[in-house]
Structure 1
Amino acid sequence: MKNIAILLIICVSVIACKTNSEEKKEENTIAKVEYKSIGDDVKQENVLSKTEMIETYKNLKPGDTVDVKFKTKVNAVCQAKGCWMRMDLGEEEAMVKFKDYAFFMPLDLAGKDVIVDGKAYVAEVSVDEQRHYAEDGGSTPEEVAAITEPKRTLSFMSSGVLVPVEEGNMEE
């Protein structure tokens, strides 16, 4: 009977330790996100949240420019070659282009959080430019034709982007 009790205690201890170490391993995996820079080298310092970036844009008038770095989810990427992306800012989006057309984003980046570094500004986008972006984004001809007025947009000229590195996709 004594041996059974000791064996039971050992089994419970092993299971408890294993479960605890698996939970810690999972917590560490979730908390740590590895990024790689595309374009200029970007550091994970002084990064504004989505909420802070929304406030920054609220204070900008057409013609104003501010150097900033922020993190939020990518809503869409140009499916022709990754030459622009739209980033989630709640009720609005920021239209991100890349400085000197020098680099492009992976086409499968939508839905992932990235950090962009560059200049935020408010712009008025012409009908022709809106239609071009709609075509690149895969809109139907009817959706493209429905664009008939210039639009005030939250814009961003990025000099570099930190994109998440996924397991099995560690290429640099």
Structure 2
Amino acid sequence: MRQQLVDIMMKPMSFAEIASFRAVAMLPHIPNALRLADVYAMAVPLFLPSEPLIHKFVWPDDPLPLLSKARPPRMAEPKPSAGSSRFYQFRWERHYWLQYTEWWLRPHLLHFSSARDLLEKATISDEALLRISDAMRSHQAQLQMDALDYWQTALAAALG
């Protein structure tokens, strides 16, 4: 089976083009996930980095400066030594906040721990991908119903 890797940052793609792939691998760069929501709504199976790898992509160069100012000095973590990665400086804080992002909340997402793991998992059968796609489609329909219920209730309250 031939795998095709396309970087949509280099070549913008339409939703129809994205939906034509059997699966999509995403490397999140910010916590809010607009592209994730779009691809999920198309029911295209998604591969995402697992933890802790995901933290190398979401705000990779942000050392969470406000966090270090919010902590009392006695609780501040030691500064990373020369040559060490800032990635680990706020690992537990990033772990905490990840659980509230769509990168982690949405069900039926596939996770990989390394490039090798992604390539191995990309050989998943078409049948398994179809089951995942069906589950994503069902979850998306429930999200739409929940949103519709919410806005109908809000409109009724506003007009009430």
TM-score range, shorter chain: under 0.3
Higher helix share: 2
Larger Rg: 1
TM-score (norm 2): 0.21
Higher strand share: 1
